[in-house]
Amino acid sequence: MTAKVRTRDFREKKRRGERIAMLTAYDANMARLLDRAGVDALLVGDSLGMVVLGFDNTVPVTLDAMIHHTAAVVRGTRHALVVADMPFLTYQATPAEAVRNAGRLMQEGGAEAVKVEGGSAIIDTVRRLVDVGVPVMGHLGLLPQSVHQVGGFLRQATNPRDADILLADALALEEAGAFAIVLESIPSEVGRTVSAALAVPTIGIGAGPDCDGQVLVTNDMIGLFDGPVPSFVKQYARVADTVTASVQSYVDDVKSRRYARPAPPKTPTPTI
């Protein structure tokens, strides 16, 4: 039985050269399955909006929805660290508001850390969160909450100037106290350079093989999401196909009146 993973284990894993395996989860049952399989951390991502709630992007996801799903994931988790995304505009307005909202994710949802998107623009907020006892995971590169500003889910840091800005942001997040940083959709060389420059681990998603760990959206990774999946995702199963085929058999069975036969009641063994 593995011990509960804590934020302090992240830096130690990097020091030992042990890669960190992280996946998203949105409900208690899936959290139980992923936890049992040995993931180090579960992210209650605001990708919830896209892969579960049917939105086109993560912008409409509310704090209440994140608290609701975080609490479910926590109920299904024993070992993995549970990190919850702070939704769009729940941490950008003021550090005080960020503290109150992170507090709700931890107190009502049971999150053990929060994740926030951005670099220089939110450094004061990250420092304030860490100062009051909220463990913070950073997120740089492709920032899904900025989809309307960027004009799509586009690969980032693809030129030397943007790569330098990303490195500076990563160093600033580390200095402000972030315990790990997600790097999304950037060139492998940038992932490698940033990972080498930091003492805290980088968790890549489409950021090459040299990050200190990887996070994927579980529904993409197991082929459960019935929509387009980014090319960097290795699919380990096609669960959506299994569900469709099973349900087709179910529909056929109901139409043909084929039902499971309940087991006959056990006859009591006579006592002498």
Residues annotated catalytic, as ranges: 184
Residue type, 272: I
Site residues (CB under 6 A) for ligand KIV, limited to 66-85? 85
Q: Which is nearer to ligand KIV, 209 or 253 (CB)?
A: 209
Give CA–CA dist 99/79, Å, rounded. Answer: 26
Considering only the stretches 45-53, 88-96, 185-193, 223-231, report the one whose residues sit in contact with ligand KIV under the rule CB under 6 A: 45-53
Nearer to ligand KIV, 46 or 169 (CB): 46
Instruction: From 60, 52, 29, 55, select the one nearest 42 (Cα to Cα).
Output: 29
Minimum gap (Å) between residue 256 Cβ and ligand KIV: 41
For residue 144, give both structure tokens.
């899904």
Residue 15 C-beta: closest distance to ligand KIV, Å: 23
Judged by CB under 6 A, the number of residues near ligand KIV is 11
Quick one: which segment of 39-47, 88-96, 158-166, 257-265 binds ligand KIV (CB under 6 A)? 39-47
Residue 90, interface with ligand KIV (CB under 6 A)? no
- Name the residue number minimizing CB distance to ligand KIV: 45
How many Cα atoms within 13 Å fall on the side-chain side of residue 218? 24
Q: How far is the CB of 263 from ligand KIV (least distance, A)?
A: 43
Q: Interface with ligand KIV by CB under 6 A: which range of 8-16, 44-52, 65-73, 249-257?
A: 44-52
Alpha-helical (H) ranges within the chain are 7-16, 28-36, 48-51, 63-75, 95-107, 123-131, 147-150, 160-176, 188-197, 218-221, 239-255
Burial class (CB in 10 A: 0-12, 13-18, 19+), 58: buried
Site track 177-216 with ligand KIV (rule: CB under 6 A), x = hit: -----x-x--------------------x---------x-
> For residues 159 and 263, what is the distance between their CA atoms, to the nearest angstrom?
66
Report if residue 113 touches ligand KIV, rule: CB under 6 A: no
Q: Decide whether 43 or 74 has the Cβ nearer to ligand KIV.
A: 43
For residue 45, state whether it binds ligand KIV (rule: CB under 6 A): yes
Residue 54 CB-half CA count within 13 A: 0
Span from 41-49, 122-130, 189-197, 233-241 in contact with ligand KIV (CB under 6 A): 41-49
**Whole-number Cα distances in Å, 264 to 254, 257, 258, 261:** 22, 19, 17, 9
Q: How many residues does the chain have?
A: 272
Does residue 24 bind ligand KIV (CB under 6 A)? Answer: yes
Query: In this structure, is the dihedral angle defined by the CA atoms of residues 191, 194, 196 and 201, taken in order, positive or negative?
Result: negative
Question: Across-strand partners of 128?
Answer: none
Please list every residue from 141 through 160 that binds ligand KIV, using CB under 6 A: none
- Which residues of this protein are in contact with ligand KIV, per CB under 6 A? 24, 43, 45-47, 85, 182, 184, 205, 215, 217
